[in-house]
Amino acid sequence: MKNWRKTAEVAIIGGGIMGVSAAYYLARRGVSDVVVLEKDLLAQASTGLSVGGIRQQFSNPANIRLSQESVRVYERFEEEFGADIKFRQVGYIFLAQKEDTWNDFLSSVETQRQHDVPVEVLSPEDIKQRWPYLNVDDLKGGTFGPKDGYADPYLAAMGFATSARKLGVRIEEKTEVTGINIEGGRVQGVETAKGSISAPAVVNVAGPWGGEVARMAGPDLPVKPYRRQVFMTKSFDAIPKPVPMVIDQDVTFYFRSEEPGIIMGMSNPDEPSSFNLNVDRDFLEKVIEAAIRRAPVLAKAEILRGWGGLYTITPDDNPIIGEAPGVKGLFSAIGFSGHGFQQAPAVGLILSQLILDGQTNFDLKPFSYDRFGKKEQEGEKRVV
């Protein structure tokens, strides 16, 4: 095949935000012989279908650290990458209906404050005063992160990809990886639909297909894809701006503004694992019900469109990040639930450190391959 290079220093499987972020950080360290292999087009899978939320309000300190590093990058994105990703730090408000949820929130706030996360604890009355359109009758309280917000995930991925290309990274779209070559416990490279590439380091950042790619190299990993549906309203100005990301934790309903309308979604606890991306009209009824219960004025909004995207979920809602046990040179960063967009800058940096230095200062214990089934593993509680 014309221009097909058969070698690379690092072959990255997946051109979502994780793949292009890892490629950028490797190239920034001087490794320009990096190839990103994408079976479709860049950032069209989970990344392009994401809601773009960025927050530091996590329960697990390791996730707080990932977010803090990523927020630092997103705040300076235009300066470093020359791209406006429309980062709006309008805040996230998490709402608790149940006593247990509220107690969890308060214990997370302690952890967050120990890690210098700006977070306010609010009573239902405080919430009503600041956001009068929210119904607070059934709430125990809420927590507000003023530095949280959202940005455009597609623009962010394109920012990483453009800068990576300028540093010499090759990006091969429409190039599916079909196999991973291993010899003597060491990765040798990958097979693709266009030919093979030998590489001493291979990275599995295949998002919802991360489990399938992992199987090319060894045993099953507990990561599975699950559909999440999102709905957008027509132009809607009955809620005064700025609208924070509102998370009704006990029902997992959320909304924020997406000019000129409102974007909203909710997890379906009965959703089976699949690659299904269809919109389910019956489920939309449940989302609308939850929306009107939390913000009654949303009864006046009209739905413009909806879409399905895939979360990639592990049993404890934390990702798997690191070198595969028993396969030297094979790295993974998969299973990011609803947090992968916001954590991608930190994870790309970490992957570059693991590949080039064999270590990182970030705490990866909660993200290890062998944690599953162990009692002490806490996972992440702030999941929507």
Ligand X SMILES: Cc1cc2nc3c(=O)[nH]c(=O)nc-3n(C[C@H](O)[C@H](O)[C@H](O)COP(=O)(O)OP(=O)(O)OC[C@H]3O[C@@H](n4cnc5c(N)ncnc54)[C@H](O)[C@@H]3O)c2cc1C
Helix axes 153-166, 340-357, angle to 10 degrees: 30
What are the residues facing 182 on neighbouring strands? 187
Provide the 3-class DSSP secondary structure of residue 289: helix
Region binding ligand X by CB under 6 A among candidate stretches 99-107, 160-168, 320-328, 332-340: 332-340
In the set 341, 350, 354, 380, which binds ligand X (CB under 6 A)? Answer: 341
Spatial contact of 71 and 121, defined as CB atoms under 8 Å apart: no
Structure tokens at 135: 């119904």
14 in contact with ligand X (CB under 6 A) = yes
**For ligand X, the closer CB: 105 or 341:** 341
Count of CA atoms in the C-beta half-sphere (13 A) of 296: 6
What is the smallest separation between the CB atom of 195 and ligand X, expressed in angstroms? 13
Give the distance, in angstroms, between the CA of residue 338 and the centroid of all CA atoms in the same chain: 5
Q: What is the DSSP string of 148-217?
A: -EE--HHHHHHHHHHHHHHTT-EEE-S--EEEEEEETTEEEEEEETTEEEE-SEEEE--GGGHHHHHHTT
**For ligand X, the closer CB: 102 or 311:** 311
In the set 27, 35, 37, 66, which binds ligand X (CB under 6 A)? Answer: 37
50 in contact with ligand X (CB under 6 A) = yes
Region binding ligand X by CB under 6 A among candidate stretches 217-225, 255-263, 276-284, 304-312: 304-312
**For ligand X, the closer CB: 32 or 252:** 252
Region binding ligand X by CB under 6 A among candidate stretches 33-41, 114-122, 134-142, 194-202: 33-41
x/- map, 258-287, ligand X, by CB under 6 A: ------------------------------
Provide the 3-class DSSP secondary structure of residue 293: helix
112 in contact with ligand X (CB under 6 A) = no
Contact partners, residue 36, CB within 8 Å, separation at least 6: 12, 14, 15, 19, 20, 23, 161, 164, 169, 170, 171, 172
65 in contact with ligand X (CB under 6 A) = no
**For ligand X, the closer CB: 136 or 291:** 291
What is the smallest separation between the CB atom of 209 and ligand X, expressed in angstroms? 3
**For ligand X, the closer CB: 106 or 308:** 308
In the set 141, 338, 345, 348, which binds ligand X (CB under 6 A)? Answer: 338
What are the residues facing 195 on neighbouring strands? 192
Please name the residue ranges forming H helices in the chain: 17-28, 46-49, 61-75, 77-81, 99-114, 124-130, 153-166, 210-215, 281-294, 340-357
- Which 8-state DSSP code applies to residue 29? T
What is the smallest separation between the CB atom of 20 and ligand X, expressed in angstroms? 8
x/- map, 182-211, ligand X, by CB under 6 A: -----------------------xxxxx--
**For ligand X, the closer CB: 90 or 106:** 90
Region binding ligand X by CB under 6 A among candidate stretches 128-136, 256-264, 334-342, 353-361: 334-342
Region binding ligand X by CB under 6 A among candidate stretches 45-53, 82-90, 123-131, 350-358: 45-53
What are the residues facing 323 on neighbouring strands? 331
Tell me how many residues contact ligand X (CB under 6 A): 39
Rounded distance between C-alpha atoms, residue 302 and residue 242, angstroms: 20
85 in contact with ligand X (CB under 6 A) = no
In the set 45, 109, 158, 263, which binds ligand X (CB under 6 A)? Answer: 45
- Which 8-state DSSP code applies to residue 70? H
- Footprint of ligand X (CB under 6 A): 13-19, 37-40, 44-47, 49-53, 176-177, 205-209, 213, 228, 230, 309-311, 336, 338-342
